């Protein structure tokens, strides 16, 4: 395995004998050379084609000189906000600044600006007025068209316009960057790159052709129904087989989104993951405490890409697409053998998976020929009859990894889709999962228990999770094991009322499940749930969806999900009074919190206007 990092300083570049790089990647994260990090993948892909690539990691955006350390690149600056959207990295769901940053040296916060992609591009424009700028990564990908921004509470323009970049790469980016590099090498300018799938460009001339025009920016900022309609059109055009070229109109200019890039096939995925990554952070960060983000992935294996799970709150449809492709066993085994040689490896492979670990191939044979169905989901509300349920290939891979010399245990941490697992009539994988691939507890994501809320989330009804839970504990018993489930829940998702949160609290009480893994819903760009949150409509059905917008009402829902915590009792008490559920306050076996309550309080405090802080579209 090659051990040379790409240069992150002028001195390192000079040591390589370069007079200047072909490309400079500017990123909001520290430089970690691992295939789980977008900067590493794109830089290694370019390097494989003979390009010299330098990495400008977390530059001081207040000092323009830091953007000139490598000089003027031969071809372009490539800008990304980091492995996460910079606003998600910098702020919590309650919009408070985060106190740590796993993608920065020593977990130090504040080394990445808000809206990093836009800020970096502004600095580069000031430093070099005519050098092409291409933006990409998750921040650019999910903000590529007009989008609701939770942190400013308004609809923002395409990030392509606000950054004033020349081109935007959306999706995973390897295929696009190879084509861009090829055209630069052929002597073409950035102006000759307006037809590349998986990219967006801006123009001051109204596009003419077989394009699909979205509602104008003015319309979606004045009508929430039009915003929902615009999102629906985008949602239905994410597959490279069926998508149309989309056009969004702004005063005096247009943003054009080319069709998505074709997903990488098995051989191409193998090639990307076999590039010479060092699988570690740059040694320059050692003195500051290293980069924590590497800890979970350094000894992990990415086996697949894409997801047909269809969760409304997930942006994978917008970024990776719904068609699943996986790497070959041999490629993964070879990578595992390299991991075993790494310093610090203690015999434990931390994960083998991807967006969803037990999705290893397209949902059905039609997807490889026609793509994913634009208007139908594979698993919800009911499993599609065409869905092919088969864990045999994944099981065989895990068995091969378990047999490698030096491997003590192979864990699965990237997530098991339990509804897909329950569709498998062969229990072999389920049993081996319990016996070999978890350590005392299995993390699962039912998200909620209210069927109404689950429907809006794009998840199956709660009866599926109940059956899964029963089967999980039964298999544990059969194997003589005593392992637990750690469920993951989302509070205040669009459509979730205080009454729904009470239902979830009662479910936790009755089952004895702990709800330590609770996440307040964060409306991130690019998701169906965010469109619901902002507009008050379900874009697919155009039905009105209730939303909790008040921070206090959100706190009430979260407190109910964690009613066992003593510090939540007063919030739980308030919530139960509002819902007229004072029967759950007291010392009875069904009560959520202890204490007495004056029933006269009920008349005074019961949700004086039921929906005082609950907003509807």
Residues 84-132: tens digit of each pLDDT:
999 999 999 889 999 999 999 999 999 999 999 999 999 999 999 899 9
Q: What's 58's domain CATH number? A: 3.40.50.280
Q: Is the distance from CB of 155 to CB of 161 less than 8 angstroms?
A: no
Q: Mean of the pLDDT values across residues 470-476?
A: 96
Q: Which of 241, 257, 273 is the last residue in one of the domains?
A: 257
In a domain, 350, yes or no: no
For the chain, what is the domain count? 2
Q: Which of the 8 DSSP states describes residue 141?
A: H
Question: Which H or E run contains 326?
Answer: strand 325-326
Q: How far, in Å, CA of 190 to CA of 133, rounded?
A: 9
Question: Which H or E run contains 441?
Answer: strand 441-447
In a domain, 323, yes or no: no
This prediction has a pTM of: 0.93
Q: 39-53, 320-334, 586-600: which has the minimum mean pLDDT?
A: 586-600
| pLDDT value of residue 598 | 57
Q: How many CA atoms lie within 13 A of 157 on its CB side?
A: 14
In a domain, 454, yes or no: no
Q: 392-396, 512-516, 577-581, 610-614: which has the minimum mean pLDDT?
A: 610-614
In a domain, 68, yes or no: yes
| pLDDT value of residue 319 | 87
| pLDDT value of residue 518 | 87
Residue of 617 and 146 predicted with greater confidence? 146
| pLDDT value of residue 615 | 43
In a domain, 282, yes or no: no
In a domain, 381, yes or no: no
Question: Which H or E run contains 212?
Answer: strand 211-213
Q: How far, in Å, CA of 341 to CA of 334, rounded?
A: 11
Does 515 score more than 90 pLDDT? no
Q: Is the distance from CB of 137 to CB of 38 less than 8 angstroms?
A: yes
| pLDDT value of residue 169 | 98
Q: What is the pLDDT of residues 418-455, one digit of tens each?
A: 999 999 999 999 999 999 999 889 999 999 999 999 99
SS3 letters for 352-400? EECCCCCCCCCCCCCHHHHCCCCCCCCCCCCCCCCCCCCCHHHHHHHHH
**Per-residue confidence band for 514, with pLDDT thresholds at 50, 70 and 90:** confident
Does 609 score more than 70 pLDDT? no
Q: Which of 193, 223, 257 is the last residue in one of the domains?
A: 257
Q: Which residues of 157-187 are buried (b: 16+ CB within 10 A; e: fewer)?
A: bbbbbebebbbbbbbbbbbbbbbbbebbeee
Hey, what are 453's tokens? Answer: 């809320």
SS3 letters for 582-601? HHHECCCCCCCECCCCCHHH
Does 197 score more than 60 pLDDT? yes
In a domain, 213, yes or no: no
Q: Which of 224, 257, 290 is the last residue in one of the domains?
A: 257
Domain that holds residue 613: 477-617
Q: To the nearest whole percent, how much of the chain has pLDDT over 90? A: 90
Task: Show Cβ contacts of residue 385 under 8 Å, excluding neighbours closer than 6 positions.
Answer: none
Q: How far, in Å, CA of 191 to CA of 503, rounded?
A: 56
Question: Which H or E run contains 518?
Answer: strand 517-520
For the chain, the average pLDDT equals 93
Closest CA to 85 of 354, 303, 281, 318: 318
Does 597 score more than 70 pLDDT? no
In a domain, 82, yes or no: yes
């Amino acid at each position: 395995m090659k051990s040379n990092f790409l240069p992150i300083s002028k001195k390192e570049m000079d040591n390589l004998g370069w007079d200047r790089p072909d490309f400079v990647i500017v990123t909001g994260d520290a430089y970690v050379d691992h295939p789980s990090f977008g900067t590493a993948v794109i830089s290694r892909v370019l390097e494989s084609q003979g390009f010299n690539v330098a990495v400008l990691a977390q530059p001081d955006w207040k000092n323009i000189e830091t953007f000139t350390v490598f000089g003027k690149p031969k071809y372009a600056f490539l800008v990304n906000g980091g492995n996460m959207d910079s606003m998600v990295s910098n702020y919590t769901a309650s919009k408070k600044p985060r106190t740590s940053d796993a993608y920065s040296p020593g977990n130090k916060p504040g080394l990445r600006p808000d809206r990093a992609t836009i800020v970096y591009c502004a600095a580069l424009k000031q430093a070099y007025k005519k050098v092409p700028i291409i933006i990409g990564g998750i921040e650019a990908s999910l903000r590529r068209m007009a989008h609701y921004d939770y942190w400013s509470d308004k609809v923002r323009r395409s990030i392509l316009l606000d950054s004033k970049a020349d081109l935007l790469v959306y999706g995973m980016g390897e295929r696009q960057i190879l084509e861009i590099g090829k055209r630069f090498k052929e002597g073409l300018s950035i102006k000759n790159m307006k037809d590349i799938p998986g990219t967006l460009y801006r123009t001051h001339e109204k596009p003419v052709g077989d394009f699909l025009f979205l509602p104008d920016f003015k319309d979606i900022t004045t009508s929430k129904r039009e915003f929902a309609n615009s999102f629906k059109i985008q949602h239905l055009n994410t597959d490279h087989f069926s998508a149309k070229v989309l056009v969004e109109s702004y005063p005096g200019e247009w943003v054009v989104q080319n069709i998505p890039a074709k997903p990488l096939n098995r051989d191409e995925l193998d090639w990307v993951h076999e590039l010479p990554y060092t699988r570690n952070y740059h040694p320059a960060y050692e003195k500051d405490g290293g980069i924590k983000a590497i800890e979970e992935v350094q000894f992990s294996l990415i086996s697949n890409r894409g997801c047909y799970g269809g969760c409304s709150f997930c942006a994978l449809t917008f970024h990776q697409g719904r068609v699943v492709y996986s790497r070959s066993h041999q490629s993964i085994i070879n990578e595992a053998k390299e991991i075993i040689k790494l310093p610090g490896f203690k015999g434990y492979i931390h994960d083998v998976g991807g967006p969803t670990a037990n999705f290893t191939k397209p949902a059905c044979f039609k997807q490889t020929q026609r793509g994913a169905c634009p208007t139908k989901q594979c698993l919800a509300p009911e499993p599609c009859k065409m869905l092919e349920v088969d864990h045999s290939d994944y099981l065989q891979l895990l068995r091969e990894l378990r047999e490698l010399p030096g491997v003590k245990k192979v864990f699965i941490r990237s997530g098991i889709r339990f509804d897909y697992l329950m569709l498998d009539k062969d229990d072999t994988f389920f049993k081996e999962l319990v016996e070999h691939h978890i350590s005392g507890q299995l993390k699962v994501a039912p998200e909620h228990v209210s069927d109404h809320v689950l429907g809006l989330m794009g998840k199956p009804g709660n009866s599926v999770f109940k059956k899964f839970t029963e089967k999980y504990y039964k298999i544990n018993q059969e194997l003589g094991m005593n392992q637990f489930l750690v469920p993951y829940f989302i509070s205040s998702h669009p459509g979730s009322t205080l009454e729904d949160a009470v239902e979830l609290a009662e479910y936790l009480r009755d089952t004895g499940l702990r709800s330590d893994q609770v996440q307040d819903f964060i409306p991130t760009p690019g998701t169906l749930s965010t469109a619901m949150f902002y507009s008050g409509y379900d874009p697919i059905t155009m039905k009105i969806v209730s939303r909790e917008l008040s921070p206090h009402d959100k706190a009430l829902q979260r407190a109910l999900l964690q009613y066992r915590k003593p510090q939540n009792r007063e919030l739980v008490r308030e919530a139960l009074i509002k819902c007229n559920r004072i029967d759950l306050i007291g010392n009875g076996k069904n009560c959520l919190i202890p204490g007495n309550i004056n029933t006269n309080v009920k008349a005074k405090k019961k949700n004086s206007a039921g929906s005082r802080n609950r907003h509807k579209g």
